[in-house]
Amino acid sequence: MAAQFKLIFTTCKDENEARELAKALVERKLAACVNILPKVASIYIWEGEVVEATEAKLLIKTKLDKMNDVFLTIKALHSYEVPEIQVVDVATGNLAYFNWMDEVLN
């Protein structure tokens, strides 16, 4: 079961873009749930310059068989040239929650 469930992280330029992306993922049954952290401080290097920005962070709960479609959707709807997409394998958790995810993602 563990390798079947994934947590995908991405950031968006603002909360509005994050909400649009989250809603698209859930409506398309690519994510069972998306949490939005509306304001995160980010410091990174882009085109040789240090950038400080406020972004919105998304925590996307999905399954292995949906992962590639999640990637494609993020890339298609995202305003960033190179959007963050990081995947964490879910090792364990609440079985009832995983059963719910299975139900809504089928």
pLDDT tens readout for residues 34-90: 999 999 999 999 999 999 999 999 999 999 999 999 999 999 999 999 999 999 999
C-alpha to C-alpha distance for 104 and 85, rounded to whole angstroms: 23
CATH number at residue 50: 3.30.70.120
Number of domains in the chain: 1
Indicate whether this model's pTM tops 0.85. yes
Q: Which residue segment(s) compose the domain that 66 sits in?
A: 2-104
Handedness of CA 73, 16, 43, 49 (dihedral sign): positive
Q: Give the tens place of pLDDT for each residue, 19-35.
A: 999 999 999 999 999 99
Q: Tell me how far CA of residue 22 lies from CA of 16, 39, 77, 82, in angstroms.
A: 10, 15, 10, 18
CA distance 34 to 46: 27
Tell me how far apart the alpha carbons of residues 42 and 6 are, in angstroms, rounded to a whole number: 23
